[in-house]
């Protein structure tokens, strides 16, 4: 497997976590979103969406992170991301797709760039935008976790929800989002970050992170 991604891309981060949780080896191929490498003719000839991640697997180029997570679970059922029980699967999907569809769309890089140019918004105005959409969905997610009585994970082990949640929390912290009213989310974040598959997927240690200590 070859995973084409960007260290700070939340969707690439999802795939890194999922592959690590499943114990699947892969080569990492950096794609520079800052220079719009994902929009190049060479890349879009393989992924017409012009986005990351792109996963080379089983002789096919595969795109779209949520579809990839579902495919990984079906192709490699060991260490499942989705539980066996239908109601538990619904719970996980409800929470994961809330983040993937309600937050990612208004807060992804092309939207933030458009807010800056041509619309002319300042970085602080863009940060206000970003935090607004975070609160709009993470508040209800926190409320649902409280209803479920969640502990370190939404169910008994990390799965699709945690795979989607952790990258969003990482990005939220970059924009100084206040998690103090969200103890369930913070508890899940801490429990996940204590696990090696999440640690290896973290943006801070990816080879294309320009701030990574190259001597480490």
Alpha helices by DSSP H, the chain: 10-21, 41-44, 65-75, 86-102, 104-107, 109-116, 123-148, 160-174, 183-193, 196-201
Produce one character per residue of 106-131: b if its CB has 16 or more CB atoms within 10 Å, e if not.
bbbbeebeebeeeeeeeeeebbebbb
pLDDT tens-digit map of 65-96: 999 999 999 999 999 999 999 999 999 999 99
Instruction: Find out whether the peptide bond into 125 is cis, omega within 30 degrees of 0.
Output: no
Residue of 21, 24, 167 whose CA lies nearest to 80: 21
Specify whether the CB–CB gap between 136 and 71 falls below 8 A: no
Handedness of CA 177, 34, 199, 69 (dihedral sign): positive
pLDDT tens-digit map of 142-186: 999 999 999 999 999 999 999 999 999 999 999 999 999 999 999
Q: Would you say residue 214 has pLDDT above 60?
A: no
Strand order in the sheet with 54-57: 27-30, 2-5, 54-57, 60-63
| Position 216 confidence tier, pLDDT thresholds 50, 70, 90 | very low
Which residue is associated with the tokens 């993937």?
100
Average pLDDT over residues 95-121: 93
pLDDT at 213: 61
| Position 212 confidence tier, pLDDT thresholds 50, 70, 90 | confident
Number of Cβ within a 10 Å radius of residue 43? 19
Using DSSP, state whether 52 is helix, strand or coil.
Answer: coil
Number of Cβ within a 10 Å radius of residue 86? 8
Which residue is associated with the tokens 């949780």?
21
pLDDT at 187: 98
Average pLDDT over residues 110-116: 92
pLDDT at 215: 39
pLDDT tens-digit map of 12-65: 999 999 999 999 999 999 999 999 999 999 999 999 999 999 999 999 999 999
Distances (CA, A) of 174 to 1, 13, 145: 30, 15, 23
Residue of 22, 4, 6, 5 whose CA lies nearest to 197: 22
pLDDT at 104: 86
Angle at 188 between CA 27 and CA 181, to 5 degrees: 130
Average pLDDT over residues 127-151: 97
* Interatomic CA distance for residues 188 and 62, integer angstroms: 29
Residue of 82, 97, 93, 173 whose CA lies nearest to 137: 97
pLDDT at 108: 87
């Amino acid at each position: 497997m070859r995973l084409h991604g960007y260290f700070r891309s939340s969707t690439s981060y999802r795939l890194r976590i999922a592959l690590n949780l499943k114990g699947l080896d892969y080569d990492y191929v950096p794609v520079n979103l800052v220079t719009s490498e994902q929009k190049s003719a060479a890349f879009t000839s393989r992924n017409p969406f012009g986005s990351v991640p792109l996963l080379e697997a089983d002789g096919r180029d595969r795109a779209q992170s949520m579809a990839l997570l579902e495919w990984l679970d079906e192709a490699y059922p060991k260490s499942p991301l989705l539980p066996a029980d239908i109601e538990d699967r619904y719970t996980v999907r409800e929470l994961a797709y809330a983040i993937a569809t309600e937050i990612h769309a208004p807060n992804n890089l092309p939207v933030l760039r458009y807010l800056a140019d041509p619309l002319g918004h300042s970085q602080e105005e863009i940060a206000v935008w970003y935090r607004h959409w975070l609160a709009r969905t993470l508040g209800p997610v926190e409320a649902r976790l409280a209803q479920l009585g969640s502990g370190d994970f939404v169910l008994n082990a990390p799965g699709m929800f945690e795979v989607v949640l952790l990258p969003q929390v990482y990005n939220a912290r970059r924009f100084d989002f206040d998690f103090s009213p969200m103890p369930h989310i913070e508890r899940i974040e801490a429990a996940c970050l204590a696990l090696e598959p999440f640690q290896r997927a973290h943006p801070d240690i990816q080879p294309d992170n320009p701030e990574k200590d190259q001597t480490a």
